[in-house]
Amino acid sequence: MTWEVIYPGTWVIFVVIGIPVYSTVLAWFLGKPRDLGNALMALTYLVGFIVSMWVGVYILTMILGFVLPPAM
C-alpha cells in the first residue's frame, strides 16, 4: 500500500500529539476565568521548552559530527 497524500507519521505528530497541545494553548487564552498574564507566562514556558530541546538536539548533532565524521 502506498501513501499518496498523508503519511502515518504526519497523523501521529499533528493529530495525536498536536491536538492536546493546541487545545491547551487555546484554553489558556479563550477559557474562563481569563488571566492574560498567566497565559503568556505558560506560553513562554512552552516555547522556551521547545526551543531548548531544538538547541540541545542541534548541539548534540554538532558534537556527533565532530566525533563521528561522515564515512566518505
Written as nine digits, the cell of 31 is 477559557
The pLDDT of residue 1: 58
Are the beta carbons of 43 and 25 closer than 8 angstroms? Answer: yes
3-53 pLDDT per residue, tens: 677 788 888 888 888 899 999 999 999 989 888 999 999 999 999 999 999
Whether 71 maps to a domain, the answer reads: no
Domain that holds residue 41: 33-59
Count of structural domains, the chain = 1
**What is the model's pLDDT at position 2?**
62
Instruction: Look at residue 53 and tell me if it is in a domain.
Output: yes
4 located within any domain: no
Amino acid identity for residue 59 in this structure: I
CA atoms of 32 and 48, how far apart (whole Å)? 25
